[in-house]
Amino acid sequence: MYIFSWNYIKEKWAHAGFQKYFQNTGWMFASRVLCMAISFITTVFVARRLGPSNFGQLSYAVSYVGIFSILSTLGIDNILYRDLINNPENKNKLLGSAFIIKLFAGIITTIIVIISTFLWKQSDVSKLLILILSGTFIFNAFQIISYEFQARVKSKYPSIIIFAVTVILNLLKILVIISKKGVIYLALILLLESILYAFFYWFAYKKKIEKNIFKWEFDKNIMFTILKDSWPLIFTSAFSLLYARLDQVLIKYLIDAKSVGIYSSAVTIAEVWYFIPTIIMSSVFPAMINAKKFSTDIYYKRIRKLLLFLFILSIGVAVVTTIFAPLIIKIIYGNAFLNGTMILKIYVWANIGIFIGSVVGNYLIAENKKFQLAFINFVPMVINVILNIIFIPKYGIVGSAYATLISYILGPLSVLLFKEPRKVFLNICM
């Protein structure tokens, strides 16, 4: 019972390591919660003013462009983060090489998206929205700076940047809607988002880490090492993006834009909780890596605690949301979006797979198990695509929600097909 005592709590609270990671997590959590709240309120305001059809057009364009985003990142983010933690003395070469990789990839991705809009049959509004949003890839290279701050356990500065950009963008979105400018101006604001992030990350790096960003060095050997380690993550991220975005693209093609708007409104509510595992894992990942260096027992204990905490939390979120789904939809979006109630009731249970999958994925990254990591994302992607193609014509957007739920749950569970991870996770869970 010592762990429930006041002395134990005071002892842990005073621990320097705990304070370091607690403060780091605190900044990320506070920033993300505030940003999620601001963005959510703005999204609701925008959706109610635009209506299901116009909101569906914008959601479709965002999802379409999002599918290509993996080409601009090449899956190197987690590898860069890991290497910055393990080899801080090589930060200039790591950042320089990663920046060149992402800048070149961003330019190529923009070109591919532009070409694809003319190859696929798009409505005029959708085509223009996609062309505008394609420009975001070019500026995303600067976001690698956030991983240097995280590796130093100094998430305060990226958190402030995220908050500042969120406030600016959402004020602009509200201004656009009040001025009755429409979805094209909203797409331009989303393009501005990537430009603002590039500027603020560069400015923060210059002021808080290194005055001269040109000290970054491009190293061919490091570039090939990063790409060699990240190539399975390219497929991993591609699979994740496909089954996260493809449902809305397929709904647009198989039904209409209005259905995308209704579906997207429910998904926005269900996915509002995704920030929790993202924040927790990005903050404690350095602690996991360091624990693995010194003690396997501590390493596994931390994984066990994370799994249990995130599993219980995801169940609680799903139960509460399911009970109050009709009221939530009506209050937030209004009667025009009430058909999204069942979507919300189904989709929110996919949080279980997302929360557990965040732990499983980071474990596989820490263990450098590239093939297994790609596999646990490939399985749900294939299942999601097949089920969407089968379910949408038969059951409409409700069928797409069920396809997502099934694929998200099966994703992290597929790791049990591999002997070593199965042994580890079964021991952890017992």
Mean pLDDT lowest among 156-165, 197-206, 240-249: 240-249
Percent of the chain with pLDDT over 70: 84
- For position 28, what pLDDT does the model report? 66
Mean pLDDT computed over 384-397: 90
pTM of the predicted structure, to 2 decimals: 0.69
- For position 136, what pLDDT does the model report? 87
- For position 9, what pLDDT does the model report? 45
Residues 136-162: tens digit of each pLDDT = 888 888 877 777 776 666 667 778 888
Q: From CA 190, how far away is CA 416, in angstroms rounded?
A: 39
- For position 367, what pLDDT does the model report? 78
Q: 262 versus 155: which is more confidently predicted?
A: 262
Is 405 within 8 Å of 327 (Cβ atoms)?
Answer: no
pLDDT at 50 over 70: yes
How many CB atoms are located within 10 Å of the residue 323 CB? 11
pLDDT at 413 over 60: yes
Handedness of CA 291, 234, 263, 169 (dihedral sign): positive
Q: From CA 384, how far away is CA 414, in angstroms rounded?
A: 14
Percent of the chain with pLDDT over 90: 12
- For position 269, what pLDDT does the model report? 87
Mean pLDDT computed over 170-196: 89
For the chain, the first-to-last Cα distance in angstroms comes to 20
Q: 242 versus 421: which is more confidently predicted?
A: 421
Q: What is the 8-class DSSP label of residue 120?
A: S
Is 404 within 8 Å of 381 (Cβ atoms)?
Answer: no
Is 373 within 8 Å of 236 (Cβ atoms)?
Answer: yes
Mean pLDDT computed over 223-248: 72
Mean pLDDT of the chain: 80
Q: How many residues does the chain have?
A: 430
Mean pLDDT lowest among 18-32, 216-230, 289-303, 373-387: 18-32
Q: 197 versus 69: which is more confidently predicted?
A: 197
Q: From CA 21, how far away is CA 28, in angstroms rounded?
A: 11
Q: 116 versus 19: which is more confidently predicted?
A: 116
pLDDT at 1 over 60: no
User: Distance of CA 234 to CAs 78, 321, 377, Å?
Assistant: 11, 33, 11
Q: 203 versus 323: which is more confidently predicted?
A: 323
Instruction: Output the 3-class SS for the chain.
Output: CHHHCHHHHHHHHHCHHHHHHHHHHHHHHHHHHHHHHHHHHHHHHHHHHHHHHHHHHHHHHHHHHHHCHHHHHCCCHHHHHHHHHHCHHHHHHHHHHHHHHHHHHHHHHHHHHHHHHHHCCCCHHHHHHHHHHCCHHHHHHHHHHHHHHHHCCCCHHHHHHHHHHHHHHHHHHHHHHHCCCCHHHHHHHHHHHHHHHHHHHHHHHHHHCCCCHHHCCCCHHHHHHHHHHHHHHHHHHHHHHHHHHHHHHHHHHHCCHHHHHHHHHHHHHHHHHHHHHHHHHHHHHHHHHHHHHHCHHHHHHHHHHHHHHHHHHHHHHHHHHHHHHHHHHHHHHCHHHHHHHHHHHHHHHHHHHHHHHHHHHHHHHHCCCHHHHHHHHHHHHHHHHHHHHHHHHHHCHHHHHHHHHHHHHHHHHHHHHCHHHHHHHHHHHC
- For position 88, what pLDDT does the model report? 74
- For position 283, what pLDDT does the model report? 66
pLDDT at 36 over 60: yes
In this prediction, residue 316 has a pLDDT band, given cuts at 50, 70 and 90, of very high
Q: From CA 280, how far away is CA 259, in angstroms rounded?
A: 34
Residues 78-93: tens digit of each pLDDT = 777 777 777 777 778 8
